[in-house]
Amino acid sequence: MTIGDPKEGGDEAPEEPQEGAPEDELPASPGLARAIGRSVSEQHLRTVLESLVFASDHPITVAELAKITRAEARDVRKLLNELKAEYQPRGIHLDEVAGAWLFRSSAGNAPFVRELLQAKPVRLSRAQVETLAIVAYRQPITRPEIDEVRGVDTGSALKVLLERDLVRTIGRREEPGRPLLYGTTKFFLEFFGLRSLRDLPMLREYTELSEESQASLTARLSEVGLAAEGPAAPEEPPAAPTDEKPSADEPTE
């Protein structure tokens, strides 16, 4: 009696694996098996994840992908990291940003992509770049503390960063006057391609940056399209009073 033929008594012998079947097959969940009619190999799951990240209209998390595919989160993350390595030398990258995954064009090809889309790079003054770096490294931080580090008034620079959703208010410090506290936003992480603030260089304070490190930071900002314009200069004097609404960092109570 050959394997696979019915045994005596009506029982069936276990099926022998089909020749050429994938060796890296993962256990299929009932839900996904019903959806596609068979068990899911690791290679198939890899292509499913690739399709889902591509089709998603927002950066998608491992938890979302695991829920859709009914796969284990650890398997999803493993395959995403493998795909990320495969895409690294290409013009399209798969990246984890702010805890979610997305496809985007290579930063090195940004000038060509901008020409296609007729998009202008986001530009900040050097004062705004320096203010952003201070907030990123020392958050939560108050406006007076930012001014102290830079040595000049940072009100207008901070207002621009708030308007561009790179910086946000995250509360108030419990001290006389209860000054506002500032920190970076999720968009800040997405814009600079950071998974979390832990991916920033290991510097506890912006004041620890050497001139070389400051130049390196500015270069990094420029690489992702956030160019600093011109040499460092004192902050512009405040404009004459107008009927415009108050500055974003001084909300009306």
Residues forming beta bridges with residue 102, ordered by sequence position = 95
Write out pLDDT tens, residues 128-159.
888 998 898 889 999 999 998 888 888 889 99
**Taking a C-beta distance cutoff of 8 angstroms, is the pair 97, 59 a contact?**
yes
Q: Check residue 213 and give its pLDDT.
A: 52
The tokens describing 134, both together, are 């201070």
pLDDT digits (tens, 9 = 90+) for 25-63: 444 445 454 444 456 788 899 999 999 999 998 899 999
Asked whether the beta carbons of 90 and 103 are under 8 A apart, the reply is no
- Mark the ranges of the chain whose per-residue pLDDT is less than 70: 1-39, 119-122, 201-253
β-strands 141-142, 180-184 pairing = antiparallel
- Go through the domains of the chain in sequence order and give each one's CATH number: 30-106 (1.10.10.10), 123-229 (1.10.10.10)
